[in-house]
Structure 1
């Protein structure tokens, strides 16, 4: 008889071992980790212990993820308070970049915002960008994480540019201005393609909203890419 048929019969007849209770004590099977044979009851206990161990490991992972998310949420909250306290666009950007560098421990932050008439050209974030970068930002529906950025974007990081191995790119957009936020690291695994981007997107939305609030309407001009 095929073993599959035996297994199916036992499934279909759960009362079998009630009718033949003594049989359980007489059946011995190999130990799952080698060694002497053990009874079915002992084997069931080992299986339950293994399932319990797997559940404990899974619970530990969930608790760790929860703690990490709580820590990130706290940092985003502090960033939000910094941005809300900003009196103008320059103060908002300076506080934003400082927060990412110090609180989030992002090694390098690059940022460009366009569409602001009369913006201070000495402020790196307001320096002009090419049409290609504007098009890239416009097409960036979701944050990008990975090893590649445009040469122009990488040049924003000056002498550190050649050492950078991973990047996160986030679009900034309101109905008045647009921009591109780029985070970078020498660690190739810091911003990897499979990582979650929810908090990156929220951070970009926060800065976008604050820039719209802190820039007087008379200083905003919509520039076509």
Structure 2
């Protein structure tokens, strides 16, 4: 019988007879194993404690990660709540675009934010939020099926920001009503890592949907 089969048979025997070490308790202290932590020989009991400590540390790290993510989500939810309250307090429809953009800067600590809208009611044409939107920008907004997060690739929409030359990463959120794009919300940062391609977009989707609902009354 090969050594592999012998070790397998021994392992199977111990698995099938859990009372073995109860009947031979002295072996727990006599069996020596090499510790991967210290490199020295340790008893079976000590090795078991090392394994348990490793599992405990792994669970502790995982729990710390879960707590951190929960705290981050709670902070984002509180900011979102503050922003939506600001929108609800804005009763003047013409003031809503500024409330949306300025609220994002205030509550989400975004360096820059702006937006542009089109197909608006006549009284809103000629406002700052309807100026300088090309057909290409409208087509681009219509093509976005999810928020864009990543580097600034010289997007036309980024040039709507006051300090566009400083923007290194950006978020582009299409604004839709009835499935049709009628605007584009732009966030910008001079930090290339602030808005990365790996960034979770759940809250960004909610921001886009909320902004769309708040701005829809401006449409024709």
Deviation at 1:91, TM superposition (A): 1.5
Give the one of 129, 132, 147 matched to 2:133: 129
Is 1:51–2:55 an aligned residue pair?
Answer: yes
CA distance in 2, matches of 1:77, 1:37: 58
Structure 2 unpaired stretches of 5+? none
Question: Is contact 2:141-2:181 (8 Å) kept?
Answer: no
Give the one of 83, 94, 114 matched to 1:79: 83
Runs (4+) off by over 4 Å: 3-6
| TM alignment of 1:110-121, pairs within 5 A | 110-118=114-122, 119-121=124-126
CA distance in 1, matches of 2:211, 2:41: 65
Deviation at 1:162, TM superposition (A): 2.5
CA RMSD across the alignment: 2.1
| TM alignment of 1:93-104, pairs within 5 A | 93-104=97-108
Deviation at 1:110, TM superposition (A): 2.6
Deviation at 1:209, TM superposition (A): 0.7
Give the one of 150, 170, 189 matched to 2:173: 170
Question: Is contact 1:113-1:177 (8 Å) kept?
Answer: no
CA distance in 1, matches of 2:189, 2:37: 45
Deviation at 1:135, TM superposition (A): 1.4
CA distance in 2, matches of 1:37, 1:177: 69
Structure 1 unpaired stretches of 5+? none
CA distance in 1, matches of 2:97, 2:125: 13
What residue number does 1:161 align with?
Answer: 164
Deviation at 1:9, TM superposition (A): 4.5
Superposition TM-score, scaled by structure 2 size: 0.87
Which SS does the other structure have where 2:99 is aligned? Answer: helix
CA distance in 1, matches of 2:9, 2:186: 61
Deviation at 1:130, TM superposition (A): 1.6
What residue number does 2:203 align with?
Answer: 199
What residue number does 2:215 align with?
Answer: 211
Question: Is contact 1:83-1:92 (8 Å) kept?
Answer: yes
CA distance in 1, matches of 2:12, 2:187: 57
Instruction: Work out which structure has the larger RCO, using CA pairs closer than 8 Å and 6 or more positions apart in sequence.
Output: 1
CA distance in 2, matches of 1:151, 1:73: 29
What residue number does 1:143 align with?
Answer: 147
Superposition TM-score, scaled by structure 1 size: 0.85
Deviation at 1:196, TM superposition (A): 0.5
CA deviations 1:32-78 (Å, max 9, x no partner) are 22253110111111111121122112111111111111111111111
